[in-house]
């Protein structure tokens, strides 16, 4: 069984949440899913993997970052003003708050004293590393197609960004043009070597980590997974490269069914969390 919740953060932002396996909350381990750029909790494969984790004796929590652009309709980008105002530091803060919500709140049911695992996809993989590296409440982490850095913008683009005050970002799937305001860029430039350094944080992630990536990923090339693997603590890190897999493991939105690549990543992730939670 799954159930929807709404939570107001300490910064007074509203977050939409869905919990799969909620009827067993507090009785079994919990997996927190963190979505990526232009992602959301009801995108494509997310409800499917939520049901799969619940069927394998986990509670599965997925949520929308407050400024990801999704409004009341679960699958429509209707809050583009919020999207434009988003920053990575805000997402890290909300990811940390969601972890705390899973272990120290009765929002979903009884207090949960079971282990917590985190699964992050794409940009959400980088956010999950930042949010969990020094968090003792998280016992294990898996990333799918994760970035290894947030410094992804060329010099000329950044100059134009500052001049205009924003950049336009097309959403090929919906045909919409999103904007990202300069505070997003300023946040990266200010914190890229410190609080937003994915590689520095993965170096200090002394807990089980499973890095999964497709070798045909054109959004986040697999050399970023290799970088994460090089920097991560070797005794607690696994790295798996899926042959011929793309950024979303062959899955689409709307979801039209699972794929061999998605099943491979999902089965290995479930086994990893069963072992380490």
Q: Model confidence over 229-241: pLDDT tens digits?
A: 999 999 999 999 9
Residues paired with 120 in a beta bridge: 34, 143
- Rounded Cα gap, residues 145 and 89, in angstroms: 20
Q: Tell me, what's the pLDDT at 14?
A: 97
Comparing C-alpha atoms, which of 125, 130, 62, 61 is closest to residue 93?
130
Total Cβ atoms within 10 A of residue 101: 22
Q: Tell me, what's the pLDDT at 117?
A: 98
Q: Model confidence over 21-43: pLDDT tens digits?
A: 999 999 999 999 999 999 999 99
Q: Tell me, what's the pLDDT at 242?
A: 98
- Rounded Cα gap, residues 129 and 135, in angstroms: 10
Indicate the fold that domain 2-150+193-276 takes in CATH: Rossmann fold (3.40.50)
Measured CA to CA in angstroms, residue 130 lies from 45, 208, 212 at distances of 24, 15, 17
Domain spans of the chain? 2-150+193-276
Q: Model confidence over 89-124: pLDDT tens digits?
A: 999 999 999 999 999 999 999 999 999 999 999 999
Residue 253 makes CB contacts below 8 A (sequence gap 6+) with 43, 44, 75, 173
Q: Tell me, what's the pLDDT at 246?
A: 98
Structure confidence at residue 176 as a pLDDT band (50, 70, 90): very high
Residue 268 makes CB contacts below 8 A (sequence gap 6+) with 210, 212, 240
- Rounded Cα gap, residues 112 and 236, in angstroms: 25
Q: Tell me, what's the pLDDT at 254?
A: 97
């Amino acid at each position: 069984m799954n159930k929807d919740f709404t939570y107001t953060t300490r910064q007074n932002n509203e977050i939409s949440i869905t919990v799969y396996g909620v009827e067993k909350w507090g009785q079994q381990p919990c997996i927190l899913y963190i979505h990526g750029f232009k992602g959301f909790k009801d995108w494509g494969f997310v409800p499917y993997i939520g049901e799969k984790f619940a069927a394998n004796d986990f509670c599965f929590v997925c949520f929308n970052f407050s400024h990801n652009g999704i409004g009341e309709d679960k699958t429509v980008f209707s809050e583009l003003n919020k999207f434009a105002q988003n920053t990575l530091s805000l997402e890290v803060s909300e990811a940390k708050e969601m972890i705390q919500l899973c272990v120290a709140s009765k929002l979903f049911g009884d207090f949960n004293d079971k282990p917590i695992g985190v699964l992050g996809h794409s940009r959400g993989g980088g956010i999950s590393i930042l949010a969990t590296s020094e968090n003792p409440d998280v016992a294990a982490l898996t990333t799918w197609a994760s970035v290894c850095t947030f410094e992804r913008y060329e010099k000329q683009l950044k100059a134009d960004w500052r001049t205009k005050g924003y950049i336009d970002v097309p959403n090929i799937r919906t045909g919409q043009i999103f904007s990202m305001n300069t505070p997003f860029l300023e946040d990266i430039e200010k914190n890229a070597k410190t609080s937003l350094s994915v590689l520095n944080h993965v170096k200090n992630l002394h807990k089980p980590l499973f890095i999964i990536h497709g070798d045909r990923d054109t959004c986040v090339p697999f050399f970023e997974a290799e970088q994460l693997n090089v920097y991560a603590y070797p005794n607690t890190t696994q790295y798996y490269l899926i042959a011929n897999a793309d950024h979303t493991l062959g899955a689409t939105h709307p979801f039209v069914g699972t794929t061999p690549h998605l099943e491979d990543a999902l089965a290995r992730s479930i086994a990893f969390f069963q072992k380490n939670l």
